[in-house]
């Protein structure tokens, strides 16, 4: 086998191709925003407002400033919702019996990717997994797990949740 590779050992073309490959690979693998970056922390805070304050505590007024007027919410079980449908679903389902449902972000599942136009940041994609708990016999029990993908956009220098994909909902098993 060594004799087959011998002619390529000192080839400048092969070295250049390997360098190009490594450069392109590094672009793909480094696209995710670092967990210590401001953008990552900002969107993790927005996730907390959305779920900790909105879903878990039913403080729906906290969602008003972060939800885009033209939000589109796509759910693999509940279908498609606009802003009114999304807010009504929270109010009439999750928040009709506060404290019975809880959402938790799966640790280390959150990732953030910048969206730019002409090298200017205009949005970000946030992906992760979350588990859902329900109060059963007086105790919170994990009943489901799902993936989510959020498109956040900057509107007047404020982050707004514009598109939501909530998918791969399944019963939770450890």
pLDDT by residue for the chain (174 residues), tens digit each? 556 656 656 677 766 767 676 666 544 444 789 999 999 999 999 999 999 999 999 999 999 999 999 999 999 999 999 999 999 999 999 999 988 999 999 999 999 999 999 999 999 999 999 999 999 999 999 999 999 999 999 999 999 999 999 999 999 876
Q: Which CATH architecture has domain 34-171?
A: Roll (3.10)
CB atoms within 10 A of CB 86: 20
Distance, in Å, from the CA atom of 11 to the CA atom of 18, rounded to the nearest integer, reads 11
Q: Per residue in 44-62, pLDDT tens?
A: 999 999 999 999 999 999 9
For the question of whether the overall pTM of this predicted structure is more than 0.75, the answer is yes
- 159-to-112, 151, 165, 166 alpha-carbon distances in Å: 14, 10, 17, 19
Question: Distance between CA atoms of 58 and 13, rounded to whole angstroms?
Answer: 61
Beta strands in the chain (DSSP E): 67-75, 79-81, 101-105, 111-117, 120-136, 139-155, 158-171
Each as own residue / partner, the long-range contacts of residues 33-36 (CB below 8 Å, 24 or more positions apart, any chain) are 33/111, 33/112, 33/113, 33/114, 33/124
Domain residue extents for the chain: 34-171
Question: In the structure encoding, which two tokens stand for residue 172, read together?
Answer: 């939770």
CA 151/CA 124 separation, integer angstroms: 6
């Amino acid at each position: 086998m060594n004799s087959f590779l011998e002619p390529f050992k000192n080839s400048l073309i092969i070295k250049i191709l390997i360098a190009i490959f490594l450069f392109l690979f590094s672009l793909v693998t480094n696209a995710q925003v670092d967990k210590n970056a401001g953008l990552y922390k900002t969107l993790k805070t927005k996730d907390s407002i959305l779920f900790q304050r909105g879903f878990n505590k039913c403080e729906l007024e906290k969602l008003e400033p972060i939800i885009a007027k033209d939000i589109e919410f796509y759910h693999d079980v509940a279908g498609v919702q606009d802003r009114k449908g999304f807010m009504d679903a929270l109010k009439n389902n999750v928040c009709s019996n506060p404290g019975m449902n809880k959402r938790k972000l799966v640790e280390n599942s959150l990732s953030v990717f910048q969206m730019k136009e002409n090298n200017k940041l205009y949005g970000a994609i946030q992906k992760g997994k979350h588990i859902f708990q329900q109060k059963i016999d007086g105790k919170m029990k994990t009943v489901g797990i799902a993936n989510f993908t959020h498109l956040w956009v900057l509107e007047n220098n404020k982050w707004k949740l514009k598109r939501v994909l909530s998918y791969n909902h399944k019963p939770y098993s450890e």
